[in-house]
Amino acid sequence: MHSLDDRCLRYLAEAVGCGSVRAAADKLDVNASAVSRQLAQMEAQLATPLIERHSRGVRATPAGHLLLDYYRRQASDREDVLAKLAALKGLRRGHIDVVLGEGFVGDLMSGLLQDFWARHPDLTMVLDLAATNDVVRRVVEDEAHLGLVYNPPPEPRLRTHLAMPHPIRLLVRTDHPLAAHPGPVRLADLAGHRLGAMHPATGIRQIVAAAEREEGVRLEPALTTGSIGVLKQFVASGAGVTLLPAFCAAQEVADGTLAVLPLADPGLNAVEARIVTRRGRQLAPAAAKLLQHLARGLAREGRAGERTLRKAMSDHGKPVDLTISGKNA
């Protein structure tokens, strides 16, 4: 019966994660020959190749991916068990890794995290910003306990704990000619207007690209960025317009700086923001507490943001259907 050596599994994970054996050896502070030798021995023991070498480094074979999934589950289970043992001893310490899209930062920093830390002052946290596909990957590979993501692609390994509609809207300055546009705006109506767009790797841009194909138009952004903040500054400066989820700009709309207009394409109105974890993962107490706190808080913030945005749009003569209702899954 074959045994799986933790050290060999770690070498495999680092080689695939770093993209090469040499880079993995540098990270692990061991000789590259030692990493290669251990991987070769594990391949011989299991009688199957675990990595494929190519011009840019190495990648995992199907058997390699199977072992990587096992190694990551083992590591996360060990972490969760240790955290639960600490909780049984009455300890209050713990650590949480969260990966999220930039659009969630405003919601978290508006008071949700402050409230959480007021209740659990000894817990530590890492918040990493990432594009949609990377949020999904990091949650599935147990690099993060929780993910907050816009419109993730279908992934059976993800579990959704909260899904909230977050339609994509046209964001313009209040004195922009399109601010007076009657009715929903078609993507074709943006022709002749300078457009700022999210990077193609982001969920927002992928949704917009699908709407372009559906409508038979091709948008040519003057500015492409991975930052929602940059796009809002782009619009606020009068440089152009952009397409973003409405609540990314709720405060600016409430302040009267920017206006949000509905879009005609139904695909742009059926977008969801989600809190996700890896299906089957038993979260440690600290992460489970944060998940519960965020699910309640984001649902509450979404309803409050809807009311604020509705009032602001009404004050500017632009009533818009912006219904937001959180649902647990």
Q: How far apart are CA 100 and CA 104, in angstroms?
A: 7
> What is the CATH code of the structural domain delimited by 92-163+272-307?
3.40.190.10
**Residue 298 corresponds to which amino acid?**
L
Domain edges within the chain: 6-68, 92-163+272-307, 168-270
Tell me: the pLDDT tens digits for 27-52?
Answer: 888 888 888 888 888 888 888 888 88
The pLDDT confidence band at residue 314, using thresholds 50, 70 and 90, is: low
Residue 320 scores a pLDDT above 60: no
Range 6-68 classified under CATH 3.30.980.20:
no
Q: In the chain, pLDDT over 90 holds for what percent of residues?
A: 28
**Residue 25, pLDDT score:** 86
Instruction: Please give the CATH topology (third level) of the domain spanning 168-270.
Output: D-Maltodextrin-Binding Protein; domain 2 (3.40.190)
Tell me: the pLDDT tens digits for 107-119?
Answer: 677 678 888 888 8
Backbone dihedral angles phi then psi of residue 265, each to the nearest 5 degrees? -70, 125
Check: CB of residue 170 under 8 Å from CB of residue 241.
Answer: yes
The two three-digit tokens of residue 286, written as one number: 């600290």
Tell me: the pLDDT tens digits for 64-99?
Answer: 888 888 888 887 777 777 766 666 554 456 789 999
The number of residues in the chain equals: 329
The pLDDT confidence band at residue 277, using thresholds 50, 70 and 90, is: very high
Average pLDDT, the chain: 83
**Residue 160, pLDDT score:** 95
Q: In the chain, pLDDT over 70 holds for what percent of residues?
A: 86
Residue 328 scores a pLDDT above 60: no
* 3-class secondary structure, 291: helix
Q: How far apart are CA 294 and CA 223, in angstroms?
A: 33
Backbone dihedral angles phi then psi of residue 85, each to the nearest 5 degrees? -65, -40
Spatial CB neighbours of 29, under 8 Å, sequence gap ≥ 6: none
Domains 6-68 and 168-270 share a fold: no
